[in-house]
Amino acid sequence: MVDSELLRKDKNCWQGMTEGEKKEVFEFCEDYKDFLSVCKTERECVEYMEELAREEGFKSLSDIRKEGRKIRQGDRIYINYRGKAFLMFVIGEKDLQEGLNVIGSHIDSPKLDLKPSPLYQDEGIVLLKTHYYGGIKKYQWTTIPLALHGIVVKKDGEIVKITMGEDPEDTVFTVSDLLPHLAKEQMDKKLGEAITGESLNILFGSIPVKGEEDDKDKNNVKIAVLKILKEKYGIEEEDFVSAEITAVPAGAARDIGLDRSMIGAYGQDDRVCAYTSFRAILDVKLPQKSCLALFVDREEVGSMGNTGAQSRLLENMLAELLDLTPEGCGDIRLRRTLANSKGLSADVTAAVDPNYENTHDKRNAFRLGNGVGIVKYTGARGKAGTSDARAEFVAEIRDIFNSEGVIWQNGELGKVDLGGGGTIAQFMESYGMDALDCGTALLSMHSPFEISSKVDVYMTYRGYKAFYIRGE
């Protein structure tokens, strides 16, 4: 355990650490890097978590229901909801209606989704049409290696998994860009207008079907590409209508810096908080209050849909859990359970970037290496679209972290009128529970290659674990 007297708030976490403590940080982050390299979609996150949860003694709620028994103290339970959201419960000593300690994160990230009819041929090249998902700088997604991840559901219901571009022997894909010699008009445009959404089309093939090389009107290259898809995956063009395929940056998570102190990878918003809260709940055995790790989808587009935080997902799944208690699930029991719960909205925030330091009020800014971040409020400008945690609850989290030697820092996303953003905290609070944003600070957030500090990742895990165990 790190000595909280040596590592105070606003002091770099690496200072005062023993070599043994540094080794623990680095070993934890090796597992985190493996997770980032494998889990690049929400479906892949759920599959990963379900497999490991079962290995660690978690049972599905449906299996417990089939056994015909009630839940009891110490039960470790999970729910895989539609393959795109995931819930993990550890049943504690207190009655559920006294509330749960909830940590909610999201497992979706900005990406390029294929359109329902993506394939087309132009100038002897086959391309894929995309529709970007979430807040991105479109120019960052050109001329980088891309991989395709997802599923295709055929008309007979068969599900075909797609992963192209991750194996070192795989082909990769890319979105082309103009050479500077011909880009005068493009470069005269504003940065946000130089690359349009409709121009984010992925290069997919260029060899025409044999014997039709000279006939450009017959989609000869497209025919050849479709033939490969049929032979390799058994899918046809119409199958793309019922597919979820996304283009993401290809390649594994990497160490950053000569001292290997940082991690560079796609999707750290918000999989850094998802992974650390996942690891934290795996360590919980028999808490006083029951614990819940909630992993949702669609946060990057407003938390809509039946797997997003604005849905009835949490309410419905908690009702299913309460239904298996001896007392059952009455309406008032469900509402008391929700209202008496306390939550951390586990999401990332922005660290000060020395290349763009004027975007922050430095007295209220986060820095790489200074520990897990506490964000009392988010939102834009006049705190629009935010929760604003009660001071009493912020003090409670401070006390827990300080007592457990968790190094933390506090701040806000950036300067007041510069922009802003929101998290799922506001939706957690809609049930009446207290909620506070708490997560890891990143550089280059929402880019194809986000940067975190290894020690911040580790302190985030430590903070979440402390909340689960010490939260009352």
pLDDT tens over the chain, length 472 residues: 444 443 345 689 999 899 999 999 999 999 999 999 999 999 999 999 999 999 999 999 999 999 999 999 999 999 999 999 999 999 999 999 999 999 999 999 999 999 999 999 999 999 999 999 999 999 999 999 999 999 999 999 999 999 999 999 999 999 999 999 999 999 999 999 999 999 999 999 999 998 655 555 578 999 999 999 999 999 999 999 999 999 999 999 999 999 999 999 999 999 999 999 999 999 999 999 999 999 999 999 999 999 999 999 999 999 999 999 999 999 999 999 999 999 999 999 999 999 998 999 999 999 999 999 999 998 888 888 888 999 999 999 999 999 999 999 999 988 898 878 889 999 999 999 999 999 999 999 999 999 999 999 999 999 999 999 986 6
Give the residue range(s) of CATH 3.40.630.10 domains in the chain: 19-109+266-470
Q: What is the model's pTM? A: 0.95
Residue-wise pLDDT for 350-409, tens only, equals: 999 999 989 999 999 999 999 999 999 988 888 888 889 999 999 999 999 999 999 999
**CA 159 to CA 157: how far, in whole Å?**
6
DSSP β-ladder status, 111-122 and 243-249: antiparallel
In the CATH scheme, what is the homologous superfamily, with its name and number, of domain 111-249? Aminopeptidase i, Domain 2 (2.30.250.10)
**CA 443 to CA 428: how far, in whole Å?**
26
pLDDT for the residue 2:
46
Q: Contact 46/80 with Cβ under 8 angstroms?
A: yes
Beta bridge partners of 296: 106
**CA 292 to CA 346: how far, in whole Å?**
12
pLDDT for the residue 385:
81
C-alpha pair distances (Å), 245 with each of 129, 161, 164, 199, 310: 11, 9, 11, 18, 24
pLDDT for the residue 1:
43
**CA 209 to CA 194: how far, in whole Å?**
35
Instruction: Tell how far CA 248 is from the center of its chain.
Output: 13
Distance from first CA to last CA of the chain, Å, rounded?
A: 22
pLDDT for the residue 417:
87
Give the residue range(s) of CATH 2.30.250.10 domains in the chain: 111-249
In CATH terms, is domain 19-109+266-470 a member of 3.40.630.10? yes
pLDDT for the residue 384:
86
pLDDT for the residue 8:
44
- Whether a cis peptide bond, with omega within 30° of 0, leads into 270 is yes
